[in-house]
Structure 1
Amino acid sequence: MMTEKDDRADQPTQNGIPVAEWIVAAVGGVLVIASFLFLAYRAVSEREPASFEFTIEEIQRVQQQLVATASVHNRGGQPVADLRLRAICKRDQVKEVVIEYVPAKSSRRVTFYFDDADVDAPIEFVVDSFTEP
């Protein structure tokens, strides 16, 4: 047996629409507005230019070579393509790599091989160029 309280959500309001439908419509409206706000935020935040941060993850000696693995993090809001990166070890050894694509706010790993370098030798990273896809 239904009570008056249980039946209230299905009762039409003054304009003939049940309360449950109003609640579902309100939740749907909030979700649509939130989606538009999120897309607007992404459109504004992606205008930040690409900027890079480099982190050396691992350096090890393999036979006569120094193997350095680094992470290249694009901190900006713009993706980049054909990122030309140089790694300089002890100012005399320069290694270059081209990374095809680095999405916004993401990382890629690269590995460089240097001849006859010390494990403690400083490594400097330089971005030469990139294109905007």
Structure 2
Amino acid sequence: MKTLKHYSILALLLVMFNCTVSPKAIDYGNDGCSFCKMTIVDKTHAAEIVTKKNKAYKFDATECMVNFMDDFETTEIELFLSNDFSEPGTLINAKKATFLISKNIPSPMGAYLSAFKSTADAEKMQAEKGGDLYSWEELLTHLKG
């Protein structure tokens, strides 16, 4: 009986720790985009949504993530993540990112959209490549407009 009690406590602890909402690693070259179904290969433009139930949806570009939101209840989403252009393969909080749309930086779906964790990095890239900077909210308005 003690053994059953110990296993029950262990199982409960495992369930509690597995419910932590967190980003899921993108398997570049193997994972498919949840919106357009293309294989995700570009480490500078990939994105991800994680729901409050810890389900991850992966995207080959931030614009696919934004388009996917049209068919999804956004109140169920816990994390909006985009890859940091300055640190390929590193997911950052899209709500806090600075976005650059520059015709001189191609992205997988043709929106020329890149995310930066640091506004200074985005401004530096803008000075080099041109384009316009956006916050998350400004980006949503721009892409939906």
- The normalised TM-score by structure 1 is 0.28
Asked which structure has the greater CA Rg, the reply is: 1
- The normalised TM-score by structure 2 is 0.26
- Which one scores higher on RCO, CA 8 angstroms, separation ≥ 6? 1
The structure where strand makes up a greater share of residues is: 1
The structure where helix makes up a greater share of residues is: 2
